[in-house]
Structures are given as C-alpha cells and as structure tokens.
Structure 1
C-alpha cells in the first residue's frame, strides 16, 4: 500500500486505487491512514462520520465502510501474490480498527522522518543538511492535506495539526537559510508567503531581515510599513514589539540590530521542536 495524504487522498496497492467511492468509507480510510498502526476507537469513527448526530445504525454503517475498504484492497490483489489478506491489513480490534501498513509507504511518515532528521542535523550544527532535509519534506506536499475528502471533526483536527506543522517547518527552513547567508535566494519566496499570510509576523520579520541583509535597506523599511498597514487595516493592531525593534534597529543603525540578528539567526539551534508529529486521536 502506498498512501498520500499531503494533498488529495491517494491510496494504491499494486498500482490500483483502493480509495472507495462512498463518502463515509473514504473518510474512514483517511482516519485510519493518519493513525496507521494504532487502534482507532469506534466512538472516534462515529464522531468523524456523523458528528454529534450518531444514528442507532452507526455500528452497521461502520461495518459497511470497513467492508468497502477491504473489498477495494481485495480487488487490487487479483492476479498478484498477496502476502496478507484484507483483514490482516485493515484489522478488527476489540475496541475499533487498525490499519497495519509499513510507515515507509505513507507520505506523512516520510515527511515526519525528514523533519526529525533535519532536527538532528541542526543540533549537530550541520545547518546545510538541516535546510535540505526540511526542503525535501516540504516538497512532499501536493496541496492542502486531504484536499478532496469532506472532513468531519476528527479529520479537521488532523488537517489543522498538519498545516500548523507545515508552517512551522517552513519558518524553520527559512530561518536556517538566513543563517546560512542565503539572503537573496529567499526574498522571492518570502514575498509570496508574506502576501498569503499578511498577519504572520515571523514571515514578515524574515522578509525584512532578508532584504536588509541583501543591502536593500529601503525595501526592508517598506516591507515593515506594508505589514504595519495590513495589520492596522485588518486587525486594528500595531506590529509586535519585536518587529518594531527590528524597524528601529534598521533606522538607527545602532547595536540593537546586531543584538536582534544574534538572537534570531545566529544563535545555536538548541533543542529542536519535533514538528508535525502525531498527537493521537
């Protein structure tokens, strides 16, 4: 089984899709993939498939969805030497169901492994490798997670977690590139990201730093004014004290900017946050 959730749901076996057409079965398969190797409790499945309005026939409905997924798996095994039956892949447990597939076949597992390896590299001081690993992790994303699955409350929580992790990974990778002196290389990407995230002060801070460190002082100050205007118009708030100190450091040219750079870019990585890891259901 090869499963892709970092974008539209794609699950194949022997080259054939095993994603069922039925809406509830598709949702169940997505939940099982995101919790592969762990038992998904029946009440969790009910919450995803029906929300708070769980019908008396929920148990039968879940069984029907399980049968549809197993049927898709069985169809993909026709003419192939199958090592395991559909029931050994989608396992019935006393309290729920478990998808038993090697984590190496899931894009989200590959993504998390690359992020963890980047953390190890950063803690060793190999910032070039750390940046490369995070870049490889980000390239696994094809679109919003489960973009074609009508998510219920359980899947929405997973999607939010994945998207927050992606933003954190992206922010960390940009910070590493700045620490590596790749100022000009990240400006275009940061301009696009800042436009998509007008209130994300970290991304705007990195854009201002990249412009300033590339010798574009006026553009850096203009970028500060852009985020200040966007925040005033959209939220009625001023930028954070940290962002204002950065602007003042650029304007004054005193030691405060050097202190900002030391604090934000030049310090050693310390303990790496394990970004995008699953928290369970």
Structure 2
C-alpha cells in the first residue's frame, strides 16, 4: 500500500495535538519564569539608569518622540499631547507590580514637571495580564485636569466615572448573590459593558511597546534622536554632569557618551523646561 493510500490515524493525530498543546504551556511557563528572573536581576540596574538619565536634560521627551516614531505609535499622539510631553515630561518608569504571581502585568509611570494642564505629578497606569484572554487589560485613570485644560474634553473623566459605577454595581451584585437576592450573570454583564468604558482600544499594544521596547532601549532611542539632529543648525549641547559621565564611562557606554557630547539638538533639546517651546516636536493629529 502506497503512502497516499495508507489510512490516516485520526486518533494518533489528536493525541499528538493534545501533547503539543501541553508542551506549549510548558514553553509559556519557562518564558514567564525567565521574565520574572530577568526583571529581578535588572531592577537595580534600571534604578541606577533612572538616576543617570535624570541628569540628562530632555532625555525622556526626546526618547519618547524618537521611539513613538520608530515604533509607529506616534499616530496616537495629538499635537496637544506632544506639547505636554515635550515640555513637561520629566521621567518614565516601568515596573512589574505582581512579579511573584504574574510578571507579565506591567505598570507604566510618567512623571511631569508642574504644568498648566493637570495637578498630578505622576500619571500611572497598570495593565494586568489576563491569562484567559491572553493579553493586557486596564482600567481608566482619572486625571486632575485644571479648569479649562482637559485635553480629552471630558472623555477620560467620563470613562473613569463609568468604570467606578461598574465596580460599584458589580459589588452590589455580588452582595445580592451572596444573600440570595439575585442571580444575574455578572461576568456576562461586565463583558457587555466593556465597550463604553474603553477610551483607547490600542492601549494594551502601546503599553507593550513602551514596556518591552522603548523603556529598556531608551538610551538607543535617545542617541538616535541626537544623530538625526546633527544636520540642524544649532550650537546647543546636551547637558551631562561629571558624575553621570564618570558612571557611564565606567559601564562601557562610550558610544552613548560620544553621542551625548555632539553639538546639536532636535526640535527643542537643550532648552529649559520652563521655556515657551512646544517640546521636541509637533505630532500629527490622532487618526
């Protein structure tokens, strides 16, 4: 009997597929364990790096601008967003808040200088990994907008309020269910209400890009922004104090230092945070 004529053993195929699925889960577990160990070992290094980058003027505005363009999430950055980020962004920090149980969850913090738009010094958002959905999920964050300065025109605030109402409603349903006062399907209701609270459907994708690419590779994006600024006619220099230079040199960052020492800036680098410039660059309108 030729190979083409041999009967297909469907049972053997199903058995192999089941074993393959189990093996994939083992691969996933190893990946999670590696992420946990890597995060633990890199944490003190990122702490030291954050201290160094805080001494480099306009490090994070230039880094964010360059990374958002390279990773193509700049389409979600409006000109107003770009102005605030370019003029007031002080630092960015990424952590894994649930390292013991779910290291794929991530918290992103943006620290800002005092500004005319909002009262918050830090805007933070936590994205929790949902094993069942295989992705990140988050809740809306309330921003302390100053009067007449809400760049979202009330959308973000409405989303945060709707989320709080949903949480209150969910707690009420649980209370009723525990006391035998109701039996509605809470999970179904929550899925139906997911849409109205969602402000930025691409938020989880951008969060992954920031956490897994922009943040760990920040020095690369920063130096790339300086390289692109070499053709501009400007004599401003990136400010780097002697302690930062000594630390970077000690850790073999000669290439980074070489770039930092170059003359030139890119659309605002080297200017004071309290200047009236629009930051590193104007961004295109959100599509």
The TM-score, its normalising length taken from structure 1, stands at 0.26
Query: Which structure has the bigger radius of gyration?
Result: 2
The TM-score, its normalising length taken from structure 2, stands at 0.26
Please state which structure has a larger fraction of its residues in helix. 1
